[in-house]
Structure 1
Amino acid sequence: MDMRRLFLFLIFSFSLVILWSEWTHQNEPAISAVEAAKTKDPSIPAEPVRPKEQVSAPAETQKVSVSGNKIVVTTDTFKAEINTAGGNIQRLDLLQHKEASDQSKPLTLLQQRGDHIYIAQSGLLGKGLPTHNAEFSAAGDEFHLAEGQDKLEVRLTAIDTGEAQVTKVYTFHRGSYLIDVGYEIVNKGTVELLPSAYFQLVRDSTPVSGTSKFVPTYTGPAVYTDQEKFKKVEFSDIEKNKVKLPTNPDNGWIGMLQHYFVSAWLPAAKGPREFYAKKLEGNEFSAGVILPVAKIEPGQTGKISATLYAGPAQSKLDDIAPGLGLTVDYGWLTIIATPLFWLLSHIDDWIHNWGVSIILLTVLIKLVFFPLSAASYRSMAKMRLLAPKLEKIKQQYSDDREKLNHAMMDLYKTEKINPLGGCLPMLIQIPVFIALYWAILSSVELRHAPFFGWITDLSATDPYYVLPLIMGISMLVQSKLNPLPPDPLQAKLMQIMPVVFSVVFFFFPAGLVLYSVVNNILSIAQQWYITRGQATATKGGAKA
């Protein structure tokens, strides 16, 4: 078994996984309407169970249209739109990140339009209290974070709340992707109030535009607690009622992930909470958390709040909340990918070019694994020199498979060659290179990061396909250095592999292709050097 056959097997397996994922997505059952919740609007979560004497009736509110007034909030980080119909964030632009298709425009993370919905909602549960459908009023239509201000507060007053006066308060911070969302509840009645607050994200299941089918990334909810750690919640599982969220947690958060970016509701570090995820109308899903509010006596004021993070997914988010850095999805090789990206980012701090940093990191990894690679290439070189003898044996025993295998094993023993010697050292390296692959794919730092010349975005495809073509040529050179498989069919497959890979890599981000090209070129140099030395040594021994 040689590296070409092993590589073909790995690629074939990877392709099967991709095809299966796409087939299951295309053949999902049609979305059926969900049963009506106890409240008239199914987007309002059910009120958590309380002791019998303290339960308040759920709010009987109808879903209202989004025709309220638009409030625009601008900071150095965000341009947000809050609608007075519900007091929800219906649009959120990240001013320091650009759209993939048009870098002259800021990236829109949250939005509500005809074919796509992704919004942040919140409300109160309890008789007469405002849900995310209630009407609010504000002191103005535009708010700006002024020069010298560290934070900006936007206050909305709920209309027609009966015996409670409710104010919804948004607090934006300079240089931050955090938004504090809180409620101030004044009990103007004669009986105590025991409300709950909910904070949710509503999104359709459509992946973010521009995501390649060849490099699929996760889109959907995720939840984290100290006890059960990070857990993705697939949209398909929500629809089939197969979701098992943490029960009775006193910590953790819930959010919504898409490639490079995340939004998450972050309640206080400690305290009771209830997570939920459910199917709404059409293709919409909600994921959120319910927080209890302390008992509010007549004439008293109660407060409750949670923090919304809406921005790039980065490993340093663990400084904001435990486990939030896991929203950078490195897959099952996170334990390897995390230190690799840490090293890559430190190289970039020195070089200030992510493309050059990828090259240098690949060189470092190849140096670390040089002894293993050398052992592999020596074994392959010996196999190449042994090819004429193997071909002779094959012709001699072409009609007897058992004798053929026995003769080949005898030859390996005589020549002291392990036929798997070229594969085993490389197998040890595969997890490292796959981990680096996912680290490059998942890192928002490479989004719109230029390399040089025509490559102005390492997260996008090479516009002129130069790197994929170099990739194909490098694979062709590698195939010439490797011994030909004895099977004619396998030999033909090895010849067309460079062409197939070139076409496939047309759709890969330039950063990933750059990594593969550098890795191939270094492998060619190593293999040529070792093969040449092996051939010289063999000739020298023959002369002696």
Structure 2
Amino acid sequence: MDQKRLILAIAASVAILMVFQFLTPPPPKPVPKSAQVTTSQPAPPAGAPAGVGIQATAPAVPREVPRLRINGDRVAGSISLLGARIDDIVLRDYRQTIDKNSPLVRLLEPRSEPQPYYLQFGWTAAAGTAVKLPGNDTVWQGAGEVAPGKAATLTWDNGEGQTFEIKVSLDENYMFSVQQTVRNAGPASVTLYPWSRIRRDYTPHTEGYYILHEGLLGVLNGTLKEQTYSTVKSDGDKRGGLSFDSTGTGGWAGITDKYWLTALVPDQSLPGTTSFRHIAEGTSDRYQVDFLASNPLIIAPGADASLTSRAFVGAKEVHALAAYERQGVPLFSYAVDFGWFWFLTKPIFYAIDWLNWLFGNFGVAIIVFTTIIKGIFFPLANKSYRSMSKMKLLAPKMQELREQYKEDPPKLQNEMMKLYKAEKVNPASGCLPILVQIPVFFALYKVIFTTIEMRHAPFFGWIHDLSAVDPTNVFNLFGLLPFDPAHSISLLHLGVWPLLMGVTMYFQQKLNPPPPDPVQAKIFQWMPVIFTFMLANFPAGLVIYWTWNNLLTIGQQWLIMRQTTLDKPRLART
């Protein structure tokens, strides 16, 4: 029975690691992009005109259009006066690669470019009314620039008595404030529904990992809603383009990448409808998140009415999202995919982030964190290692029993159990240290893989990015040969840190008593090799954690074995 439990424990440990390895398919090929651009507006609520939500194909947008400058502390770009779009945003603090001279990360892009991605704000007229509204081809008048403490104002006069105004400002991070105002100088009241939307007019390249959400998401009515691009497309095709909608008050919704987020944050006291949409155009796909106010603005003659909302365009920094959460954006930190075990993953992130602040290096923070975790689990591991050390001392006695009862397996098993009970040892205790660290391993994997704080975080030597695999490879002699065999066969990538992990795991195993069963012994012998190749394609930060954990375990086992050796004379007399 104990042997079966041992095999089951080993199999469970390997299976958990294999889940990480094999549930990460290669990234899908990018979807071909079309030069055409779809123009659409959110579907109106009851009482609004039925034709507003119809999509139409517009001619290609010119590149040279009048613009207003965005000059924030952490973002830069511009607003297009053609269509009043926030469509040009780069992040000042992030580059595309670890090369300091690589281009800044571009998040939003104009409709004239290959990958259009933009924000837009507008109005829908109520049913039965005829108001000339600004559209995609409207050229607005503009003044000012968007910067902390400054605002840019866009205005457009429809020539029929109504003036539309969009005032855009920005805080010190990534949050835009957008005030939509209508001034009515006409002879009659006008009734308008304000709307806002995020459009991504292409299918982006995604990481393709099942443990990471990329696509449309939002917190609506207190619940997190996530849809991948494929889900939005399939569900939208069944419902005329509408994949999902929710009516309520407050919340937020947007489109997320692994590290970046674009989100609409409506007035938290304003009821409205948030929708996820897919818009097909030939072979191209468009994705849209929009918010439409449920209560219209009724502007009497000589009066004006305004509505203020916000939009986040930036990096998913945990502390920044938490700060906005404290400022009234509900559950905004959910934009970071901490997973189902967020109650474990989030504290681990904050612990490592604090240690990084203390030591100035995330790799050192991981090592210190591993040491602390090892100390927390020391009593449990100590008991396990003592039992394992006793098992090693009992090896001669166990060999005698195997020789004595080799023709009577049931009797051998019974005598073995008596010996274990008399010496108070558990033959399956060797798996306990591995099983204990699996939840920490999983949570740390999520932290390293999903949080932008780990992106491009260096360690020492050749590790310039803890969130990426060890760049060295033994199969091309660590760069001496001018080719990378991993391009053809992914298994042919084995860096220095995974090799160190395998070596430390081998020596750790040598301190354990060999399993009595030959099959079990062979499984144990191959485990360091299997784990080495499996972890070779994991983030370097995770391999460093596992290697350091092995070294601590070796030291702990060696000390315990020295203490247990004192009991050897008593065991010999048993």
Q: TM-score range by the shorter chain?
A: 0.7 to 0.9
Give the letter for the 2:322 counterpart: D
Hey, what does 2:288 align to over in structure 1?
286
Matched, 1:318 2:318: no
State whether residues 87 and 134 of structure 1, in contact with CA within 8 Å, keep that contact through their aligned partners in structure 2: no
1:537 aligns with 2:567: yes
| Residues 200, 286 of structure 1: 8 Å contact kept | yes
Pairing 1:362-511 to 2, within 5 Å after superposition: 362-387=370-395, 405-424=413-432, 427-464=435-472, 465-511=495-541
1:335 and 2:343 aligned:
yes
Partner SS state of residue 468, structure 1: helix
- Structure 1: gaps of 5 or more residues: 32-39
Q: What's the offset of the Cα at 1:462?
A: 2.6
One-letter code aligned to 2:307: I
Q: Residue 254 of structure 1 aligns to which amino acid in structure 2?
A: A
Q: Tell me the amino acid that sits aligned with residue 256 of structure 1.
A: I
The structure-2 alpha-carbon separation of the partners of 1:131 and 1:451, relative to structure 1 and needing over 3 Å to count, comes to farther
Amino acid at match of 1:516: W
Q: Which runs of 5+ in 2 are unaligned?
A: 237-241, 473-494
Counterpart amino acid of 2:122? Answer: G
2:289 alignment partner AA: A
Change (3 A) 1:330 1:351: same
1:29-70 Cα distance to aligned partner (Å, 9 max, x none): x99xxxxxxxx96742211224xxx76862767443332615
Amino acid at match of 2:231: D
Distance 1:156 1:339, change over 3 A: same
Match for residue 105 of structure 2 among 107, 111, 114: 107
Alignment equivalent of 1:156, drawn from 151, 154, 157: 154
- Measure how far apart 1:252 and its partner are: 0.8
- The alignment of Structure 1 onto Structure 2 pairs a total of residues equal to 521
Equivalent in the alignment of 1:9:
12
- The letter of the residue matching 1:97 is Y
Change (3 A) 1:7 1:60: same
1:527 corresponding residue in structure 2: 557
1:76 — aligned with what?
Answer: 73
What is the distance in 2 between the residues matched to 1:193 and 1:56?
Answer: 18
Question: Deviations 1:389-437 (Å, cap 9, x if unpaired)?
Answer: 5566667777877666545434433433333444457645532343233
Q: Distance in 2 between matches of 1:425 and 1:471?
A: 16
- What residue is the counterpart of 1:194 in the other structure? 191
Contact 2:85 2:120 in 1 (8 A): yes
Q: Distance in 1 between matches of 2:10 and 2:62?
A: 57
Distance 1:118 1:60, change over 3 A: closer
Picking from 52, 65, 68, the partner of 1:58 is 52
Residue 219 of structure 2 corresponds to residue 224 of structure 1: yes
* Structure 1 counterpart SS, 2:348: helix
Counterpart residue identity of residue 527, structure 1:
Q
Question: Aligned partners of 2:23 and 2:463: how far apart in 1?
Answer: 32
Does the CA contact (< 8 Å) of 2:386 and 2:561 recur in 1? yes
| Corresponding position: 1:44 with 2:41 | yes
Q: Deviations over 1:186-238 (max 9, x none)?
A: 23444432222222223345344xx486x95321122114x533332333332
Between the aligned partners of 2:262 and 2:291, the Cα distance in structure 1 is 13
After TM superposition, the score normalised by the length of structure 2 is 0.79
Q: Deviations over 1:510-532 (max 9, x none)?
A: 22222222222112211222233
TM-superposition CA deviations, 1:319-352 (whole Å, max 9, x none): 2122111222221221122222222222222222
Q: Is the 1:261–1:312 Cα contact (8 Å) retained in structure 2?
A: yes
Assess, with a 3 A threshold, how the Cα gap between structure 1 residues 367 and 169 changes in structure 2: closer, same or farther.
same
In structure 2, what residue type is equivalent to 1:178? M
Shift of 1:366: 0.8
Equivalent-residue separation in structure 1 for 2:385 and 2:132 (angstroms) = 72
What's 1:125 paired with?
Answer: 124
User: Does 185-194 or 320-329 show the bigger shift?
Assistant: 185-194
Query: What's the counterpart of residue 263 of structure 1?
Result: 262
Tell me the amino acid that sits aligned with residue 15 of structure 2.
F
Shift of 1:468: 1.9
Secondary structure in 2 aligned to 1:507? coil
Higher mean C-alpha deviation, range 533-542 or range 111-120: 111-120
How many Å apart are 1:11 and its aligned residue? 3.6
124-133 vs 312-321, greater mean Cα deviation: 124-133
Please say if residues 155 and 170 of structure 1, whose CA atoms lie closer than 8 Å, have aligned partners that are also in contact: yes
Task: State which drifts further: 175-184 or 495-504.
Answer: 495-504
CA contact (8 A) 1:228 1:246 kept: no
Q: Is residue 298 of structure 2 the alignment partner of residue 295 of structure 1?
A: yes
Structure 1 residue 97 displacement after superposition: 1.5
From 201, 224, 239, the equivalent of 2:233 is 239
Q: Distance in 2 between matches of 1:541 and 1:21?
A: 49
Normalising to structure 1: TM-score of the pair? Answer: 0.83
Return the alpha-carbon distance in structure 1 between the equivalents of residues 167 and 139 of structure 2: 11
Letter of the 1:170 partner, please give it: V
Cα separation, 2, equivalents of 1:4 and 1:162: 81
Q: Distance in 2 between matches of 1:334 and 1:273?
A: 30
Whole-Å separation in 1 of the counterparts to 2:132 and 2:414: 83
Q: Which position in structure 2 is the counterpart of 1:350?
A: 358
